[in-house]
């Protein structure tokens, strides 16, 4: 019974980690796209930075 529970726990942890990594990849791609849009559409005058920090 204990080995079965350990295998199920390991599968749950690996599935959760895989799901979290997939979500993080999508977030990273979205941030990259927003950064590229901001880089292309930045104002011509001033400091040239489209972000405030």
CA–CA dist 7, 15 (Å, integer): 12
CA–CA dist 46, 1 (Å, integer): 68
Q: Is the entire prediction scored with pTM above 0.85?
A: no
Say which DSSP state 53 is in. -
Say which DSSP state 50 is in. S
pLDDT digits (tens, 9 = 90+) for 1-53: 888 888 888 888 888 888 888 888 899 999 999 888 877 776 665 565 555 55
């Amino acid at each position: 019974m204990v080995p079965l529970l350990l295998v199920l726990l390991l599968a749950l942890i690996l599935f959760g980690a895989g799901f979290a990594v997939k979500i993080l990849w999508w977030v990273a791609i979205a941030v990259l796209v927003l950064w590229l849009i901001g880089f292309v559409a930045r104002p011509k005058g001033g400091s040239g930075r489209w972000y405030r920090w």
